[in-house]
Structure 1
């Protein structure tokens, strides 16, 4: 039987009070939250462990309402918000003067920007290939470090299956990654398989990569192609 420490129970009770305060403010119209479409319910907050995401309109009234809720939460629970570690994000339609006013009211001056949360990009813009470029860079650096070593074909197959293909798995379990980026990662693995120096990309391809990517039962090496390994792992319908 799993036992939860009493301090964690107290933390959950305090956070439940914060959640009810935000819900009450949404019901009486103090804050409006965020909607993904007109018919969807408004989302005022998301809670994960000790992190909280608050959603409200960039107006003076709603900003003061959020400030009052956080102040009340601090008085009753004794837990204060760490504004130095907090960050804020504005819609592109919010004027810069209004942004500065809200930042000064809340005391939060850090922008989310291109930061990461739990190892994943915080914001996904129109150019997904630029956002997820770091996946290809990490695979490339790994393969470059292996190129100086004398690896057999079996060793290369193990490195590709157990290391290179596992690097993007965590990210691609949450987001849909562009197919072109998956193909570029596949080319890196292909070049590494046929030649140790992947920077030149040369080497005789004695066999088509489609045959190598087949299952072992079918005569291949079990190196899955990106459309099967990566794209099928992206099951989050909200990340399209």
Structure 2
């Protein structure tokens, strides 16, 4: 595919193909001629016959030089806006005519990102996987495993790029609850446990099922991390040109407008909690702000030393600008607007003590994730941080034991929460039943006296 990429780039450089031109706020411009994914290619060009002829020749040269054959019968000519004589162009190229919105590589292309119908396919696939009849033939352990595998595979592709609406999230969570506890049946009404508890970790008394809305936030937050940590990928250059950059290039400016910015605008809504869990590792110090970025200690220096920050001459100085390499082996040269009083010297001493172990180097500045994962962003770590922990003393080690059948562990889990289908619970719901243990004949049946044989 490198041959095709070279031919397309040369055609764009020679003016034979226009490509897709992106113009940003600051006057920056970037041209994207094509995108490759495995054996799939999307090519951008202007809807003119001469450019279509050029593309036809490029595809013919590629087939002749590589030996591959392009299946134009499966190719689609997709229009952006109104185009005249599109049928003639499609006949000349030998492909079909498509229209927006459509689906490309499993993702909606040209559709509004907030349209609920965009999630219809995900909802239908989860409905089929978590059909009510299946729960009659598998154990509780199998039901939990199926829920986890379904949630981890079916919607994850869309969740990693688009924000899921609360309506869809509630629908998908209802599928899981109904599948696990029988929906509106008697079993479901009696066994129903707070879904917040169910979705917590097993150590906290839950089943480890992930909440969809928090999983969505964690997946979207990864793009904030990737923009700050990755070097010069194409997607990062496109986003940087379109929205502009700030913070020494670590993040983009706020997405403004109502058209063509919705996807990245939703992703940027996760920037606050992401940056609260990101700090900097200083190398050259040219991209890290001395006072307002977290690189030394557990908070930014402007918060640790607010009085010194108000007296600083250069509040927007980088670490490199404050570091003076001419002072012997190097030292910190912090300039203030006036001399200090005696009661302010302790703050200067504390600041210099904090800076004592830091110095610049020849390496590049890096971002570090504070939420676990060996300084690298992880969706699991971000999810656990967003969910938080429920203060609960739960005997999980006595319940989730290795080599014990999952159905037994699940029964013990329900019994610990007092959600077993016993006669006393049925009586509380208006059922007229004699409450006697059918084994002993004298004790009442409740969660502490269960005559069930597993």
Cα deviation 1:72-130 (Å, max 9, x = unaligned): 32333343321112112110x223x4321221221112526676555x13525015421
The CA deviation at 1:154 is 3.9
Counterparts of 1:73 and 1:159, CA distance in 2: 46
Corresponding position of 1:26: 12
TM-score (ref. length: structure 1): 0.77
Change (3 A) 1:156 1:49: closer
Corresponding position of 1:12: none
The CA deviation at 1:135 is 0.8
Contact 1:191-1:203 within 8 A present in 2 as well: no
SS in 1 for 2:92: helix
Counterparts of 1:158 and 1:148, CA distance in 2: 12
Change (3 A) 1:147 1:68: closer
Q: Note if 1:94 corresponds to 2:94.
A: no
Contact 1:129-1:177 within 8 A present in 2 as well: no
The CA deviation at 1:31 is 1.0
Change (3 A) 1:150 1:50: closer
Q: Note if 1:76 corresponds to 2:65.
A: yes
Counterparts of 2:145 and 2:173, CA distance in 1: 15
Corresponding position of 2:219: 233
Aligned runs of 1:189-200 on 2, under 5 Å? 189-195=176-182
Change (3 A) 1:78 1:162: closer
- The match for 2:189 among 179, 197, 203 is 203
Corresponding position of 1:5: none
Q: Which ranges in structure 1 are unaligned for 5 or more consecutive residues? A: 1-14
The CA deviation at 1:147 is 4.6
The CA deviation at 1:134 is 0.8
Aligned residues: 219
Counterparts of 1:51 and 1:204, CA distance in 2: 51
Change (3 A) 1:169 1:58: same
Corresponding position of 1:56: 45
Corresponding position of 2:170: 183
Cα deviation 1:18-46 (Å, max 9, x = unaligned): 22221111112111101343534111112
Contact 2:8-2:34 within 8 A present in 1 as well: yes
Structure 1 runs of 4+ aligned residues shifted over 6 Å read none
Corresponding position of 1:143: 130
The CA deviation at 1:67 is 1.6
Q: Note if 1:172 corresponds to 2:123.
A: no
* Structure (1 or 2) with the greater strand fraction: 2
Counterparts of 1:75 and 1:116, CA distance in 2: 30
Q: Note if 1:221 corresponds to 2:221.
A: no
Corresponding position of 2:147: 160
Corresponding position of 2:116: 129
Change (3 A) 1:146 1:37: farther
Counterparts of 1:153 and 1:186, CA distance in 2: 17
Question: Which protein is bigger by CA-based radius of gyration?
Answer: 2
Counterparts of 1:182 and 1:190, CA distance in 2: 12
TM-score (ref. length: structure 2): 0.43
Counterparts of 1:142 and 1:74, CA distance in 2: 42
Corresponding position of 1:41: 30
Contact 2:169-2:212 within 8 A present in 1 as well: yes
Counterparts of 1:115 and 1:146, CA distance in 2: 34
Counterparts of 1:165 and 1:203, CA distance in 2: 27
**Bigger shift: residues 20-29 or 68-77:** 68-77
SS in 2 for 1:176: coil
Contact 1:176-1:231 within 8 A present in 2 as well: no
Cα deviation 1:137-192 (Å, max 9, x = unaligned): 1111112154551555444323322334432224433x214233222211211222
